[in-house]
A and B are shown apart, each in its own frame.
Chain A
Amino acid sequence: MPIKGRLFPTQTKQERVFLLIRKHWFVYVPFVLLFILMILPVVAVMVYWSFNFETITTLNGNIIIVGASAYLLSLLGVQLFGFVDYYLDVDIVTDRRLIDIDQNGLFKRKISELYLHQVQDVEAKVEGIAATLLHFGDVYIQTAGERENFIFRSIPHPYTVAKQIVNLHEQQYQQDLMIKTGDQRQSIGKSLSYGELESQAKKILKSQPFSKRIANPGIFPAPEAEMTSDFLTDSKPPAISRDKSRPKAGKRKTVRKRAKVKKEVEEEQPKTGHISEEGELREGREVDLQD
């Protein structure tokens, strides 16, 4: 289910966020252990004071108070550092791209993004006893071209995330294919419904296995992993937004009717110059993707 709201600076209104992933809680465990280890001396001093209260009234009392306070505040500061570093490291998966927000300490923040069509291969890795038992690991996303590969480190359920990324990539591939197919059909003046476009895209996808697709860096990269087109039955691709230059649904019927009448008249009469080439093409472009 898409998450609402703006989650990163360049997010557009139409972009739907599918996953917002933080590192697994196990990554934060060292900070918790550090906190416990560092708090132990303070607890020991407090226990000592409770039995020997007179020591606080000695000359060194103020130094102990200042020292203990500074120590506790430093401990708190270390925890804040750890929390910022852990909690603000976020990986986001939208229906268009992947965003890796990398927070290193308080003063270093890096945001990198990768469009889904640039994804070539997605690999999930779970290494170690803790990672296997607690279900966390890394997801490696191989990119097209010379770009640096994307790595989602220590995220929970890496296999599910990898599958989701592949599914979204496939959906976008299908959507692009549908638009491309639709454009080709439009150019020869044929109308296509959503169902027809979908079945057309299915056919093309079946005939082109993931590994054998022709590389076209502009639109479709050539992914290496073998994939099936099962995802098509899982979910419906996101709705394609309506072209604003086209008339609205109510008006569309009138336009079609007029076109029909025009065609009938045209068939009855010999062709004259009053129906322009442009007009014919416009009527031919009636493709209702929302059907």
Chain B
Amino acid sequence: MAYVFIFYLIFLLGFLIYSLAGIYHLWRFGYSGDLTKAIIIIYSFISAAIIVVSLFLISVRII
């Protein structure tokens, strides 16, 4: 179980770096009034939701 959890944390770290790079591009090169800001918000929200739900489920099972 510990291995799975460590793998997940490493994956989350990589995902975070990748997401920050993508969001930086959208934030830096998007124009005012286009879809970039909306996509940043939607992407961040969905990612956070997936991570929170998965961590919650894992923690419930561990407890």
Could you say which interface size class chain A belongs to? 20 to 34
Known A66-B4, A69-B54; contact A80-B31, beta-carbon cutoff 8 A: no
A53 at interface by CB-CB < 8 Å: no
A74→B51 CA distance, assembly (Å) = 12
Q: Name the distance in Å between A62's Cβ and chain B's nearest Cβ.
A: 6
| A-contacting residues, B42-63, CB 8 Å | 43, 46-47, 50-51, 53-54, 57-58, 61
A49-80 Cβ-contact flags toward B at 8 Å (1 or 0): 00000000000011101101110111011011
Q: State whether B18 touches A77 (Cβ < 8 A).
A: yes
Interface residue tally for chain B (C-beta within 8 Å): 32
Q: Which residues of A contact B4 (CB under 8 A)?
A: 62-63, 66
Q: State whether A76 touches B61 (Cβ < 8 A).
A: no
In the complex, how many residue pairs between chain A and chain B have their CB atoms under 8 Å apart?
Answer: 77
A101→B28 CA distance, assembly (Å) = 14
Q: Which residues of B contact A65 (CB under 8 A)?
A: 54, 57-58, 61
A128→B47 CA distance, assembly (Å) = 38
A81 at interface by CB-CB < 8 Å: yes
Task: Return the chain A residue nearest B7 by Cβ.
Answer: A66
B41 at interface by CB-CB < 8 Å: no
Among B5, B7, B50, B54, contact of A76 (Cβ-Cβ < 8 Å)? B50
Known A69-B51, A107-B21; contact A5-B43, beta-carbon cutoff 8 A: no
Q: State whether B57 touches A73 (Cβ < 8 A).
A: no
Q: Name the distance in Å between B53's Cβ and chain A's nearest Cβ.
A: 8
Q: Which residues of B contact A61 (CB under 8 A)?
A: 61
A103→B29 CA distance, assembly (Å) = 10
A84→B39 CA distance, assembly (Å) = 10
Q: Which residues of B contact A5 (CB under 8 A)?
A: 31-32
Q: Which residues of A contact B46 (CB under 8 A)?
A: 76
Q: Name the distance in Å between B34's Cβ and chain A's nearest Cβ.
A: 8
A76→B15 CA distance, assembly (Å) = 10
A83→B30 CA distance, assembly (Å) = 12
Q: State whether B32 touches A87 (Cβ < 8 A).
A: no
Q: Which residues of A contact B19 (CB under 8 A)?
A: 77, 80
Q: Name the distance in Å between A32's Cβ and chain B's nearest Cβ.
A: 14
Q: Which residues of B contact A70 (CB under 8 A)?
A: 8, 11
Q: Name the distance in Å between B48's Cβ and chain A's nearest Cβ.
A: 11
Known A76-B47, A84-B26, A107-B21; contact A66-B58, beta-carbon cutoff 8 A: yes
Q: Give 4 nearest A-B pairs by CB, closest first.
A: A69-B54, A80-B22, A66-B8, A65-B57
User: Given A77-B22, A103-B29, 7 other A-B contacts at CB below 8 A?
Assistant: A66-B58, A69-B54, A70-B8, A73-B47, A76-B47, A88-B26, A106-B21
User: Which residues of A are interface residues toward B (Cβ below 8 A)?
Assistant: 5, 7, 20, 61-63, 65-66, 68-70, 72-74, 76-77, 79-81, 83-84, 87-88, 101, 103, 106-107, 109
